[in-house]
Amino acid sequence: MNSKFLANVDKLEPGTWQVSIKAGGWEPQSSAPGSLAKGEGRRSFLKLTAAAMAAPLLFASPDSSAGRRRAPNPTPAPAPEPGPVVLPPSPPTIPWVEELPSAITPLQPATLGLAPTGEAQVDRGECGRNKHQRWAEMYATPRQYPPVHYKLHAKENPAWVFNPAYPPQRIWGYAIGAGAAATTPGPTIMARYGQPVVVRFFNRLPQDHTGFGSPEISVHLHNAHTGSESDGFPGDYFSPLKAGPTLAEPGQWKDHLYSNIYAGYDQMQNGIGDEREALGTLWYHDHTFDFTAPNLYLGMAGFYLLYDHIDSGNERDPNPSALRLPSHPYDYPLSFGDRRFDAGGRLIYDQVEPDGTLGDKIAVNGKIEPVLKVAARKYRFRLLDIGPSRIYEFYLQKANGVSQTFTHIGNDGNLFAAPLKNQTSVRIAVAERADIVIDFSQYPIGTELYLVNRLVQTRSRMPDGIGAATQLLKFVVDRYPPEQDLSQVPNVLREQPPLDLAEIAAAPVRRWVFERKNGMWAINGQFFNPNSARAVIPKGGAEVWELVNIDDGWSHPIHIHFEEGRILSKTKDGVAVPVPPYEQGRKDVYLLQGMSSIRLFIRFRDYVGKYVMHCHNLIHEDHAMMLRWDIKEDD
C-alpha cells in the first residue's frame, strides 16, 4: 500500500523474519533459536501484506478471498504517504423494525463431561496453557458457593441479520452449544462473588477461513481480577492447529478460572477480598495477538455481570445492605460497535490500513437501529463501547430532540460512591462502560425515546466534537410493569478504597509515553512483543503510572489488565485539568484525548504472571500500541 510499512518492517524485525506461504496457511520460519516467535512472524506477515497489497484488495468482505494469507506482491510500487481512504457510505438501513429481546437470557450453567483441573488437559484436547494458579484454594476448597461451570463455543454464524435492509451474512460470536447458533454479543454470564466460575471456551471457528479476521481465539475477560493463564493474554491464542507464542500446545478448548474474589484477597485474609474493589460490568472478548480488531469487529464479544451482597441483582432483596438497583429482566446490557458495509450490504473491514475502518452504522447488540420495548418503570442499562475506534457521547432524547435526564451510577466495571443524578449525557470510549438508570415511569404508554450519539467523528483517530444527533436505539414505552417497581437508586452506592497520600508519594513511578511511530503506534518507542516484559512488579506492589500522549490529534483509551487504578491527576496541553466526577472512582480504561496525561495509582495483588497494557482503540492495539508487564512472587 505504501512505503511506510516497508520501512516499518525493517525497523521492527531487521533481518529476523522469513515467511513462507503454504497452501491453506503459512508458518513463520525461524533460523536461530529465539530469533522469531510465532507471533512476530504473524506481525511481519501482516506488515508485509500491508505493504504489498493493492488498494482494491484491502476492503475485503469476509466472503472474499482477499485476506492476510494472500501472497505478497514482491515489487510494491512506492506511494506517497496517503491519508485514510475515504469509503463510500454504507447503504441505507431500515430503522426501528428489528426488535431487541425484551430481556436478556442469562447463560445457563453447563455440565462438563470432563471435570476441570488445575493442569492443562492437553491429552484431552485442551490447549497447552499454564496451570491455574491457586487452584485448590480458588476452585476446589469449598467457598461461599460451589463452583459453577459454563461452556461457550466460538463459532461462525453464516446468517446474521444486522438490519432487514442487508442480506443475512457471516459473523463470528459465541454459542451455547456446538450445534447452537452463535450470537453477537455472545450469551451474558451472570456471576457472583464467592462463587468460582470455570468457562470452557471451545474454538469452533472455520480453520480454512479467508478474509479479515483470524480463526484463533484468546478470550479476555475485561476488568477481571484473575490469574494470567485465564486472562486471555494476546500471545495465548489457540486453535486446533495453532498455539500462540506463549502457549505450549494448540487445542480445541481452554478452561478459564474466574475465581470471583475481590482484589485484596491476600491483604484482607477474609477468604473473599476487599468488597470496596467490587466489579460489576465486565465483558469478554477476543484478544488474539494482531487480530483483536477484526475478530471483535466480526462479533466476538459478550457481557459478564458480577454481583455481590451489595449489588445483588435482586431489586426485592430484603438484605439491608442490598442496593436494590433495577434487576433482571430490567438490568440490560447494551453494546455499541461501529460497522461499515459495502454496496451489497455486507460487512467490510480493512485490517491493514493503520487508520482502520471507521464504521458509519452502529450495531446495538448486533442490530442496526433496533427497537427496545420497555415497561413504564426503572431500567438499569450497562452501556459498552466495543469499538473498534468510535467514541460516543450518548443523550436520551424525545423524537423532537429534547434531552431527557437519567442517573449515572457507574463507570467501567464499578459503581460510584454516589449516583450522579439528572445527567443528560455520558461519554464513553472503546471498552469503557457507563452504568445508567432510566426511569420510564414518568412517560405515558406509547412514548418513544431515542438513545442518540452527538459526538461527531469522521476519522478513527479522534472525535471532531459535539454536533447533530444520530439516533441509535429507539425505546418504546409500551406497557405497565406486571408488578410494582420496588427498585431504587440509593444516595450511597459503593464505598471506594481509601487513597493513602503517604503511600502514593512513596510509590515507584513509571512513565509510559504513547506515540505515533512509523505509521503505527508505540509505547516508550517500542512495539508490542508478547515474549518480553517491559515491567516486572512484585506481587502486592503498588505504583504510580503516568500515561502520556505526546501526539495532538489522537485519542487513546488506555486499558490496564488485572487491577483497577484511581486517577490522581490529569493534564491537557500541559495544563492541569480537574478529574471529572465520573472518573473519580476506580477505572480500568483511561482516555487520553489529544496532548494529555493521566497519573494513576494502581495495585498488583493476589496473582502473578503476564498481563498487558494497551490502547483499546483496536486498530492501535493491533498495530502494536501494547506492552507486556509481569507480576512476580515477592521473595
- Residues lying near Cu ion in the complex (CB under 5 A) are found at 556, 615, 617, 620
Of 235, 241, 286, 295, the C-alpha closest to 38 is 235
- Between residues 230 and 617, which has the closer beta carbon with respect to Cu ion? 617
- Between residues 223 and 593, which has the closer beta carbon with respect to Cu ion? 593
- Between residues 93 and 617, which has the closer beta carbon with respect to Cu ion? 617
Query: 560 Cβ partners below 8 Å, 6+ apart?
Result: 545, 588, 590, 602, 611, 613
Backbone angles phi, psi at 587, to 5 degrees: -140, 155
Shortest reach from residue 430's CB to Cu ion, in Å? 9
- Between residues 534 and 556, which has the closer beta carbon with respect to Cu ion? 556
- Between residues 430 and 438, which has the closer beta carbon with respect to Cu ion? 430
Cβ pair 332, 382 in contact under 8 A: yes
Number of Cβ within 10 Å of residue 120's Cβ equals 21
Shortest reach from residue 616's CB to Cu ion, in Å? 7
Backbone angles phi, psi at 279, to 5 degrees: -110, 150
Cβ pair 148, 195 in contact under 8 A: yes
Shortest reach from residue 617's CB to Cu ion, in Å? 4
Shortest reach from residue 354's CB to Cu ion, in Å? 11
Q: Where are the beta strands (DSSP E) in 355-411?
A: 361-364, 367-368, 371-375, 378-387, 392-398, 403-404, 406-411
- Between residues 230 and 389, which has the closer beta carbon with respect to Cu ion? 389
Shortest reach from residue 172's CB to Cu ion, in Å? 23
CA distances to 82, 220, 524, 584, 607 from 510, rounded to whole Å, are: 35, 25, 11, 21, 21
Cell 497519573 belongs to: 599
Cβ pair 24, 67 in contact under 8 A: no
Shortest reach from residue 363's CB to Cu ion, in Å? 21
- Between residues 139 and 521, which has the closer beta carbon with respect to Cu ion? 521
- Between residues 89 and 553, which has the closer beta carbon with respect to Cu ion? 553
- Between residues 325 and 560, which has the closer beta carbon with respect to Cu ion? 560
Shortest reach from residue 521's CB to Cu ion, in Å? 6
Backbone angles phi, psi at 596, to 5 degrees: -160, 165
Shortest reach from residue 554's CB to Cu ion, in Å? 6
Largest CA distance in the chain: 72
Question: In angstroms, rounded to a whole number, what is the distance separating the alpha carbons of residues 160 and 172?
Answer: 9
Shortest reach from residue 217's CB to Cu ion, in Å? 23
Of 181, 182, 164, the C-alpha closest to 172 is 182
Shortest reach from residue 120's CB to Cu ion, in Å? 33
- Between residues 192 and 285, which has the closer beta carbon with respect to Cu ion? 285
Beta pairing, strands 448-456 & 406-411: unpaired
- Between residues 376 and 625, which has the closer beta carbon with respect to Cu ion? 625
- Between residues 63 and 552, which has the closer beta carbon with respect to Cu ion? 552
- Asked if residue 106 has a cis previous peptide bond (ω within 30° of 0), the answer is no
Cβ pair 291, 67 in contact under 8 A: no
Which three cell numbers, joined as nine digits, stand for 336?
455499541
Shortest reach from residue 4's CB to Cu ion, in Å? 17
- Residue 377 is classified by DSSP as S
Shortest reach from residue 598's CB to Cu ion, in Å? 14
Shortest reach from residue 356's CB to Cu ion, in Å? 10
Shortest reach from residue 87's CB to Cu ion, in Å? 21
- Between residues 28 and 359, which has the closer beta carbon with respect to Cu ion? 359
CA distances to 207, 411, 469, 470, 541 from 465, rounded to whole Å, are: 42, 22, 12, 13, 39
Cβ pair 428, 383 in contact under 8 A: yes
Shortest reach from residue 66's CB to Cu ion, in Å? 26
- Between residues 148 and 462, which has the closer beta carbon with respect to Cu ion? 462
Cβ pair 271, 142 in contact under 8 A: no
Task: Tell me the chain's radius of gyration from C-alpha atoms.
Answer: 23
- Between residues 133 and 549, which has the closer beta carbon with respect to Cu ion? 549
Question: In angstroms, rounded to a whole number, what is the distance separating the alpha carbons of residues 162 and 341?
Answer: 10
435-456 in b/e form (b: 16+ CB < 10 A) is bbbbbbeebeeebebbbbbbbe
Shortest reach from residue 8's CB to Cu ion, in Å? 17
Question: Three-state SS for 90?
Answer: coil
Of 633, 484, 498, 627, the C-alpha closest to 559 is 627
- Between residues 278 and 618, which has the closer beta carbon with respect to Cu ion? 618
Of 216, 287, 221, the C-alpha closest to 257 is 221
Query: 193 Cβ partners below 8 Å, 6+ apart?
Result: 144, 260, 261, 262, 272, 275, 278, 306, 307, 308, 309
